[in-house]
Chain A
Amino acid sequence: MDVFVFKIVPFFTILIFILGISYRFYTWKKTPQPGAMTLFPVPHESTSLSIIKEVVFFPSLFRSDKTLWGFSWIFHAALALIFIGHVRVFTDFPALWKALSIDADVMSAVSGGIVGIIIMIAAILLLFRRFGSKRVREISGFPDYFALLLILAIVVTGNLMRFGEHFDLQITREYFSQLFTLSFAGMEIPQNPTFRLHFLLAQLLIIYIPFSKMLHFGGIFFTQTLIKRT
């Protein structure tokens, strides 16, 4: 069982994700669009620059709902930082840290810890918002709660690894490097239960993305292009 779940499933996860997303992008790209859907005023800068602005800072949301903007921008920014932080689980850049004269482990402990707490708070606030306001309650269904709760569960297990009892990152690192180099012989599967849960939930999330509203992270480029190009 362990062999199947921790040696084979991760590849399926990646495969499903890549195929799912590519299929979505492909169908979006090939669907025809007669006529222009431009929404004015169009930004002064180039279309791509303004889309990047939209993706990074959410200006439209800022103009309409500042509370939601605050919650969701912090949430998404933390998500992005966490994504970057996890790269270190798979590979490290000792040369970079040396050049910047930073103690990578200390930095990761401090910034990772803070971001982990922040995203947890942001996710809880977003969850409460779904109950709290009439107009959002009306439109919240199972998928909306599920997505938030899933992320929250992943965040909580992640935080437990950082703040809870001692967690050995080195074993996990080796596991991933062996996994990605396909060196199954002599691979040691981490036994820490918190990690196992965290890892499985994360895979569930990755599989879920192409089939759910979380697609919006890629779709935003398509929809914004349609209304911003002249």
Chain B
Amino acid sequence: MGNKDKVTGEGLRKSVIDSIKAIDKGPKVLKLYMDMCARCGTCAEVCPVYYGEPTELRNPVVRSDLIRSVFKKHSTISGKILGALAGAKDFDGDLQKFVDAFYECTGCRRCATFCPFGIDNSVITRKGRAIADSLGYTPETMKNVVKTSLETCNTDGASPEAFKAAIDFLEEEMKDEHGIDIKIPVDVVGTDYFYVPPSGDVLVNPEATTGIAKVFYVLGMQDKWTMSSKCFDGANYGLFTGNDADMKADNKPYVDEAKRLGVKYMFMGECGHAYRIMKMMMEKGKWWGELPFKVINCMEWTADRIKEGKLQFDKSKNPMPVTYHDPCNFGRSCGIVEAPRIILKASCQDFREMYPNRGENWCCGGGGGLSAMDDIREFRMKVSSVKKMEQISDTGAEYLATACSNCKRQFMQLIETHNAAFAIGGVHDMLSRAILINGKAAERVDWEAGG
């Protein structure tokens, strides 16, 4: 974790400039983005935040320039000689401006999709947050989440006992629904799959987890998977505070646990950034060397089983119009876009596409960890999410499925604020309601979704 107390004065100035100068050493993306921007304004055209309310600091180029112009001033020849004429500007000592600006970027990477050069402003945002974090300027909310997560291995701060109690409860729920014992194995060594959901999918909105348990049951693989009573939350807010050390420290117990459990697959749940960290950063970046397991995602895995014809559904259990919101970290950053649609189309009567979608989708407005910050609730409700709400209501859907707890929290508050006419939930939630076990779908009392 970053500094506890806020650094100020000359020490602050020097630290900020030093860490911006350090960009020269990498990573490569960041270095390139410092040198390369034709300043064409395309990013502002496609940015959900700038669309919501186009203030100057919300223009992605202006925001990124907070860092880029300082870099030019101190690390480029032209900036040193020509100064402002080359777009260079020294750090003005106002780090709070960094915090305000970079915590108004949702890191959704939509700009990178449309930028002719593929400049990804979220990388610069993350750098800006990292600088703030190292000097103790990270917003309290985020600090607390990281602290809780590093202390307890989950963002809920739940104990292994609480987790086990929740699992027992979910098993009873499924017994009620299907009249049979469907197990959720915990801490079993020597299985194939280690299921790592976001903790919300166990403790708050547990249907996704019961959905997974039911799939394993139907496939006769009850003894092939396990959860861990210590590591049950893939969420990793080190990604959002920009602190690489925190991100890795948060990640390590999960890799160790997977090794201890001796699994073949780390089976990631419906959490976009967790999967991105495991797959694109940890596995590809070889943080912990060669791994004895592979990182896979539950949605792709379930979709493959559906394609093989191994799962049957009673679609009439989900009669309402359903649409899918691509979480940025699943869609743009990991390319998992077809799998959730396969699951939803198999389990719902009326699946509707939302536009634009997949790699071009609009962020929910709560990305980059902002969803957890209620101090900027007004911004999330009225600025960053404006277009998204229109897109959803255009589909006429009564249920919005999405595979990300941050998106879900954001949407829940949007529904509340705007009195919207839809319900929100996960992808495996829909599967859980419609999957046939011994020819019968779950019997439930009141799960009627929609307005």
The answer to whether A and B touch directly, with their CB atoms under 8 angstroms apart, is yes
CB contacts (< 8 Å) of A224 on chain B: these are: 117-118
Q: Which of B33-66 contact A (CB under 8 A)?
A: 33, 35-42, 44-46, 50, 54, 56, 59, 61-62, 65
Name the residue on A nearest B112 (C-beta).
Answer: A39
> Contact flags (1/0) for B6-45 with A, using CB distance below 8 Å?
0000000000000000001111110111011111111011
Give Cα A1–Cα B335 distance, bound, in whole angstroms.
Answer: 61
Give Cα A61–Cα B117 distance, bound, in whole angstroms.
Answer: 9
- Say whether B334 faces chain A, with CB atoms less than 8 Å apart: yes
B250 to chain A, nearest CB (A): 15
Known: A41-B358, A41-B359. A143 touches B118 (CB 8 A): no
Interface residues on A, range: 35 or more
Stretch at the interface among B91-99, B150-158, B280-288, B442-450: B280-288
- Say whether A173 faces chain B, with CB atoms less than 8 Å apart: no
Interface residues on B, range: 35 or more
- Say whether B367 faces chain A, with CB atoms less than 8 Å apart: no
B116 touches A39 (CB 8 A): no
In-complex Cβ contact of A222 among B32, B40, B61 (8 A): B32
Known: A36-B284, A39-B118. A138 touches B28 (CB 8 A): no
In-complex Cβ contact of B280 among A24, A38, A216, A220 (8 A): A38
B117 touches A136 (CB 8 A): no
> Contact flags (1/0) for B74-113 with A, using CB distance below 8 Å?
0011100000111100000000000000000000010011
> Contact flags (1/0) for A109-148 with B, using CB distance below 8 Å?
0000000000000000000000001111011111110100
- Say whether B383 faces chain A, with CB atoms less than 8 Å apart: no
B41 touches A39 (CB 8 A): no
B93 to chain A, nearest CB (A): 21
B285 touches A34 (CB 8 A): yes
Give Cα A64–Cα B61 distance, bound, in whole angstroms.
Answer: 16
- Say whether A170 faces chain B, with CB atoms less than 8 Å apart: no
A67 to chain B, nearest CB (A): 10
- Say whether A150 faces chain B, with CB atoms less than 8 Å apart: no
Q: Which of A209-230 contact B (CB under 8 A)?
A: 211-213, 215-216, 219-220, 222-224, 226-228
Most buried by B among A37, A58, A133, A219: A37
B115 touches A32 (CB 8 A): no
B331 touches A223 (CB 8 A): no
B337 touches A61 (CB 8 A): no
In-complex Cβ contact of A61 among B35, B116, B119 (8 A): B116
- Say whether A27 faces chain B, with CB atoms less than 8 Å apart: yes
- Say whether A63 faces chain B, with CB atoms less than 8 Å apart: yes
Known: A139-B59, A139-B62. A37 touches B45 (CB 8 A): no
A99 to chain B, nearest CB (A): 37
Give Cα A63–Cα B61 distance, bound, in whole angstroms.
Answer: 19
B26 touches A33 (CB 8 A): yes
Give Cα A140–Cα B41 distance, bound, in whole angstroms.
Answer: 9
A41 touches B86 (CB 8 A): no
Q: Which of B281-318 contact A (CB under 8 A)?
A: 281, 284-285
B36 touches A60 (CB 8 A): no
- Say whether B332 faces chain A, with CB atoms less than 8 Å apart: yes
Known: A24-B35, A142-B84. A32 touches B26 (CB 8 A): yes
Name the residue on A nearest B44 (C-beta).
Answer: A135
A211 touches B39 (CB 8 A): no
- Say whether B123 faces chain A, with CB atoms less than 8 Å apart: yes
B420 to chain A, nearest CB (A): 28
Besides A32-B26, A219-B36, 8 other A-B contacts (C-beta < 8 A): A31-B27, A31-B32, A33-B28, A60-B118, A68-B40, A211-B86, A226-B118, A228-B118
Can you spell out 26 A-B residue pairs with CB atoms less than 8 angstroms apart?
A31-B25, A31-B26, A32-B26, A36-B284, A38-B333, A39-B120, A41-B359, A58-B116, A63-B360, A135-B50, A135-B59, A138-B61, A139-B44, A139-B59, A139-B61, A139-B62, A142-B87, A143-B86, A212-B86, A213-B39, A219-B117, A223-B117, A223-B119, A224-B117, A227-B112, A227-B118
Chain B positions within 8 Å of A, measured between CB atoms, are 24-29, 31-33, 35-42, 44-46, 50, 54, 56, 59, 61-62, 65, 76-78, 84-87, 109, 112-120, 123, 280-281, 284-285, 331-335, 337, 358-360
Chain A positions within 8 Å of B, measured between CB atoms, are 24, 27-28, 31-42, 54, 58, 60-61, 63-65, 68, 72, 133-136, 138-144, 146, 211-213, 215-216, 219-220, 222-224, 226-228
